[in-house]
Structure formats: C-alpha cells, structure tokens
Amino acid sequence: MPATSIVDDYLLSAMLRARKSRAENGTVVLTVPEFRGIVACGADGRQALDELYRLLEDWVRVSFEKGYQLPVLTTEGGVIDLNRADVRALAKSSRDVSTAPSEGDRTYVGGPEEFEAFLEGVGSSDSVTDR
C-alpha cells in the first residue's frame, strides 16, 4: 500500500465533504462547500469524482505556487491546515519524490463496495438545472 501524504489526506477529506446533485440531463454534479467555484461533473459518479479530485489537486497546487490560503479542514482525526510553512515544506518534499496516481490507481475509499456506497450517500440528491 503506497504511503499517503498530508496533501493526499487533505484531498480525501475535501472529497468526503462533496455534495452530489444531478442535472436534468442526468450528469452527476459534485461541489465542496469550502471550495467555492469548484464544480465537478461527469456522466457517472466515478467520472465526477475523478474530475473533483483533479480540480481539488489543481486548486491546492496553484495555491501552493501562488501562496494563496487554503481552507482549513476539520476531520474526525483533527485539523488539516496546509497553510503553515512547515506543512507546505513537507508537502512540497513529498510531491518531489512521489508521482501522482493515475485515474485507475486512485482509491477514494476502502474498495468497490464502499465506493458505491459513498457515491450513493454523498450530499444532496436534489436535481439542479442546466445553466
């Protein structure tokens, strides 16, 4: 099992906050309240989660590069704050030695059954209109 970094934990924590809805055309739409402006869409839950992961990962990367503040996420295990200088240095060093997982290698939850249950239970199931 590959080691996870604090950034991986942060991304997973953000994804677990996702709110799900469906557009009138059936597209799955995921948003994360703490990340205003991120809207991930996909034909199914897997595509939407892959897009959400990519968008969150880009948001964190750009925030690191530009020195922008990131939302502090509270989890069952404590607080994940990527804004501290020591944490950013640790995150940068772990990014330098690891490679990003390919879409097929990403594990968002424990396994296929948990993944399907996660998709069913993510946030609201209210329909949204196409814009």
Q: Domain count for the chain, please give it.
A: 1
Predicted TM-score of the model (pTM): 0.73
d(CA 69, CA 71): 7
d(CA 120, CA 13): 17
127 part of a folded domain:
no
62 part of a folded domain:
yes
pLDDT at 89: 84
| CATH assignment of the domain containing 35 | 3.30.160.250
pLDDT at 126: 43
d(CA 34, CA 16): 12
Burial of 82 from C-beta contacts in 10 A (0-12 / 13-18 / 19+): buried
130 part of a folded domain:
no
Which residue range forms the structural domain that includes residue 45?
6-99+110-121
16 part of a folded domain:
yes
| pLDDT values of the chain reduced to their tens digit, one per residue, 131 residues | 456 788 999 999 999 999 999 999 999 999 999 999 999 999 999 999 999 999 999 999 999 999 999 999 998 889 999 999 888 888 777 665 444 455 555 555 555 566 566 666 654 444 333 33
66 part of a folded domain:
yes
126 part of a folded domain:
no
d(CA 61, CA 67): 10
Closest CA to 52 of 42, 43, 61: 42
Query: Helices 85-97 and 45-66 meet at what angle, rounded to 10?
Result: 120
d(CA 77, CA 100): 24
128 part of a folded domain:
no
34 part of a folded domain:
yes
